[in-house]
Amino acid sequence: MKRRDLLRSFGAAVTTSALVSPSAAVEMKGFPTQTSMSPDHLPKPAMKGGSFRVFREENDRKTLAAVFDRMIPSDKFGPSASEAGCLEFLDDQLAGHYGEGRALYLEGPVRPETEEAIMGSPQFTQTPRQRYEAGLKALEAYAQATDGVAFHALSPDRIDEILAGLEEGKIELPNGVQGKWFFELMLQNAREGYLADPIYGGNRDMVGWKMIGFPGARYDYRPYIEKRGENLNLVPVSLIPND
């Protein structure tokens, strides 16, 4: 699957809340204040400061960047995943409720012998944060054992070979890390970081939205409902305040 198609396939599932100022979306008129969101439901921006809270080890960041940048490489359509801020996006997510698995069932399968067949994937008892902590170390250990160098130092072709092996379930990582499902987790998060609203740390300068033609978090789309199949040339709008 080509890079643009990969992002488009996920972009259809991206939904956002649209709260922007009139200066950012001229279509907005007579905003219904009774529908305003309460402060506790407003989007929570990624933390500022430039320091990583989960990926504190440099080698872990290099390993993840090597993976993400093969999933979404830099080309004529846009920057790579790491250049677009996907590592910062994921670090912020893993440092919060997502990383803690607040919305996940983590008690293990009721019937281990049939759970994967029924659910389509294994039941994980580790949080996403724990899965990354173990998975990145396992990737590094695999590269050291098979190639004698750090994962991030491998050639792009060799990284692609390993990632393909993980995706197809042909490579198992050490320390009990299930390679196929760790690959799926990283792919999902790379896509999310590239296409999420920039307020969350990724999709810098809305590069992902510009690539797939997504106009962003606009309040009102009614003027464009009948303009099907037309290139509206709308500049993407982010949730980031303009003041």
pLDDT at 199 over 90: yes
Count of domains forming the chain: 1
Tokens 């106009």 appear where? Answer: 215
Burial 97-128 (b: 16+ CB within 10 A, else e): ebbebeeeeeeebeeeeeeeeeeeeebbeebb
Residue-averaged pLDDT of the chain: 85
pLDDT at 34 over 80: no
Determine, yes or no, domain membership for 41: no
Confidence at residue 5, expressed as pLDDT on a 0 to 100 scale: 64
Determine, yes or no, domain membership for 19: no
Q: In terms of Cα–Cα distance, which of 26, 162, 161, 189 is closest to 94?
A: 189
How far apart are the C-alpha atoms of 139 and 143, rounded to whole Å?
Answer: 6
pLDDT at 19 over 70: no
Query: What percent of the chain lies above the pLDDT cut of 90?
Result: 57
Determine, yes or no, domain membership for 94: yes
Contact between residue 166 and residue 179 where contact means Cβ atoms under 8 Å apart: yes
pLDDT at 15 over 50: no
Confidence at residue 25, expressed as pLDDT on a 0 to 100 scale: 40
Determine, yes or no, domain membership for 177: yes
Determine, yes or no, domain membership for 122: yes
Neighbours of 224 (CB within 10 A): 14
Quick: pLDDT tens for 150-192.
Answer: 999 999 999 999 999 999 999 999 999 999 999 999 999 999 9
Q: What is the pLDDT confidence band of residue 72, given thresholds at 50, 70 and 90?
A: very high
Quick: pLDDT tens for 126-153.
Answer: 999 999 999 999 999 999 999 999 999 9
Domain that residue 198 falls in: 3-12+46-224
More confident residue, 112 or 237: 237
pLDDT at 17 over 60: no
CA distances, 11 to each of 89, 143, 193, 215 (Å): 17, 32, 11, 12
What average pLDDT does the segment 187-205 reach?
Answer: 96
Determine, yes or no, domain membership for 114: yes
Question: Tokens at residue 57, please?
Answer: 């080890």
CA distances, 218 to each of 1, 25, 212, 214 (Å): 30, 6, 16, 10
Q: In terms of Cα–Cα distance, which of 97, 98, 70, 63 is closest to 177?
A: 63
Confidence at residue 23, expressed as pLDDT on a 0 to 100 scale: 40
Determine, yes or no, domain membership for 79: yes
Confidence at residue 145, expressed as pLDDT on a 0 to 100 scale: 98
What average pLDDT does the segment 189-199 reach?
Answer: 97
pLDDT at 20 over 70: no
3-state secondary structure 117-176: HHHCCCCCCCCHHHHHHHHHHHHHHHHHHHHCCCHHHCCHHHHHHHHHHHHCCCCCCCCC
Confidence at residue 231, expressed as pLDDT on a 0 to 100 scale: 83
Quick: pLDDT tens for 206-236.
Answer: 999 999 989 988 888 888 888 888 888 888 9
The number of residues making up the chain comes to 243
Determine, yes or no, domain membership for 37: no
